[in-house]
Amino acid sequence: MSHVPPTTTARYSAWRERVRAGRVLVVGDVMLDRYWFGDAERISPEAPVPVVRIARTEERPGGAANVARNAAALGARTSLLSVVGEDEAGAAIERLVAADGIAASLHHDPSLPTTVKLRVIARQQQLLRIDFETRPSQEVLSAKLKEFGERLRDTDVVVLSDYGKGGLAHIAAMIGQARSAGCRVLVDPKGDDWGKYRGATLVTPNRSEFRDVAGRWRDEAELTAKAEAVRRDLELEALLVTRSEEGMSLYTAGGALHIPAQAREVYDVSGAGDTVIATTAALLAAGAPLADAVRIANEAAGVVVGKLGTAVVHPSELA
């Protein structure tokens, strides 16, 4: 496996100005991340669980909206296409992404409660997560597919953020349309049916997601062989496996490139995958080579895991 040292173009500063001209379209499952912070100083007399007295709350865009938020934070011209319900949570997502400078088109499904993930946190520890979710209707998804085709004319890189919530039922058609329009397509996968991602430019599973598809490996050589088999079978230009403390491994027709993890204190890994794919997309839209884009994305991941919950990385935080 290659361990080529990074070049000067693998520094974000070399691409910062060009990132601002890059056009990234994010499509996928959006959700509202809610955080309830408080103190847990006693156990309930009703059951052996802590009683949390809530002191403050926060709301942040989650899922594909967090991917878009990360790309926008780096300066890319970012659009978001998704589905929400006609409810308070959907309105909150629209308000939050607009504040982040994202050009969002959120189709409304009256029968769909917007996906919400509620986390209860006490003393910097997550005590509980509650999910509210329902799949969108096919009628709304078909309308979104039509708009997707229209938006490709003003897009350099498409990110398909699959959280398995039903918002990417037409993902195979989207990949075909985007590639025909000359757009590069990055996919954050979900589940073990990757046939629908055939023909994408880059698929970015984490270690566990890749293992579910390819099976276990005994050493680096076997991992490389499995990655190359998946890449060829799905006709991908590249496969990027994020490996937590082991860094990232990029597999292309030219071979394998391993990028060690950034030595930083890990506070919260939630949303790190969103940061990786968003950063890679923003750099590719700016014209950066894939290997350099991934190196910068690895650095961004090292920053974001030091923050609580779904968060973003700003240009000033990248060396």
Task: Tell me the catalytic residues.
Answer: 274
- Give the SS3 label for residue 156: coil
Helices 272-285 and 290-304: crossing angle in degrees, nearest 10, is 150
Query: In 10 A of CB 264, how many CB atoms?
Result: 13
Question: If you search the block for the tokens 């100083």, which residue do you land on?
Answer: 41
Asked if 28 contacts 273 with a C-beta cutoff of 8 angstroms, the reply is: no
Q: How distant, in Å, are the alpha carbons of 58, 69, 116, 121 from that of 85?
A: 20, 20, 11, 26
Q: How far apart are CA 202 and CA 194, in angstroms?
A: 12
DSSP code string of 16-41: HHHHTT-EEEEEE-EEEEEEEEEEEE
Element (H, E) at 66: helix 64-73
| 155 close to 183: Cβ distance less than 8 angstroms | yes
Residue 123: both structure tokens together: 């003393």
Extract the tokens encoding 314.
Answer: 């700003």
How big is the chain by its Cα radius of gyration, in Å? 19
